[in-house]
Amino acid sequence: MAARMDLDGRPIKPMTICMIGAGGFIGSHLCEKLMAETPHKVLALDVYNDKIKHLLEPDSLPWAGRIEFHRINIKHDSRLEGLIKMADLTINLAAICTPADYNTRPLDTIYSNFIDALPVVKYCSENNKRLIHFSTCEVYGKTIGSFLPKDSPLLKDPAYYVLKEDTSPCIFGSIEKQRWSYACAKQLIERLIYAEGAENGLDFTIVRPFNWIGPRMDFIPGIDGPSEGVPRVLACFSNNLLRREPLKLVDGGQSQRTFVYIKDAIEAVLLMI
């Protein structure tokens, strides 16, 4: 394995990473990358390990001893702070982040994305540990263009469809539109992390994924998720293709999405690390 260099060209020192949500779609690919291309050790925390089993067994794997799986639900496990203390860096990937859940399980969505993340932020801040927290592009809300009348001449101006991190207003749906529970919870934990950095010196990085796609992506209804759920758009298309059904298009195909292949995204995350 060729030694990776940091952005200043220096060899990267091995570190211990506490990865919360390591058994999910993003976590499994990040674990693979860390094992194959870095000397880092990973404390992999999750309730399931199906997607990383190939990294944990057998003991003859070249990275044996550099990845440990800890079956933990961070809602109520006293081991969490100790594992964060053992690590140089904590990466929090844990979240309910499937559109099918936003409308049907808004309480679980808010708790998972805000309440359950509070101890992670607290332990990182109190123990001077760096945090990479995975948020979402949904914290940007809607574009101004999405509210313009259909006959408005402003619709042709691309400026009304651009979201700028530091200047765009944040436009969400009304309170009764429960699908915005996810975005609101994610934005509030971002504001709390930012405040911890400003007031208590927390060293943090926020990641806001758009639609990351690729192997082990969640989920196809009735195959690896609930049959009645509405998954992410690529999983919707896959589901329709497998069942020989017409593809369901949002707004008749007018709705736009940005897609990033998981391997490219993980390379960017490794640079952050």
Measure the CA dihedral 213/218/219/223, to 10°: 120
Report the alpha-carbon distance of residue 172 to residue 177 in Å, rounded.
Answer: 9
Q: How far is CA 268 from CA 89, 191, 265, in A?
A: 17, 23, 5
Structure tokens, 34: 């860390």
Determine which one of 123, 140, 182, 261 is catalytic.
182
User: Nearest Cα to 202, choosing from 78, 115, 89?
Assistant: 89
Q: HEC profile for 143-157?
A: CHHHHCCCCCHHHHC
182 is catalytic: yes
Instruction: Tell me the catalytic residues.
Output: 182
